[in-house]
Amino acid sequence: MPRIEHIYAFICDDAGPDDEGIAASTHGLMWMPLVGADMERMESLRPVAQRIATHFRKPIRLCRFTVRETLEIIQPVPQG
């Protein structure tokens, strides 16, 4: 798999025009944020984003984030 250089996300307005969040859907008891590293994944999530926009009567924006910055590297804990 190639290095991830950008991430896409479906973004929705929350409480107000300057308050937004990542759209998410439930799968069983877990929430799944509508994010991905390629357009193929985002196209597969598009119907979910459309249902959310229709249900809440709010627009959903597809955004691309392109600045990569490693903030921390979490190392595995040795087992044994």
Q: 9: part of which helix (H) or strand (E)? A: strand 7-13
Structure tokens at 7: 């991430």
pLDDT of res. 78: 94
Q: 45: part of which helix (H) or strand (E)? A: helix 39-56
pLDDT of res. 9: 98
pLDDT of res. 2: 83
* Spans of all domains in the chain: 7-65
Please identify every stretch of the chain with a pLDDT value under 50, giving residue numbers as ranges.
none
- pLDDT tens-digit profile of 34-57? 999 999 999 999 999 999 999 999
pLDDT of res. 50: 97
pLDDT of res. 19: 87
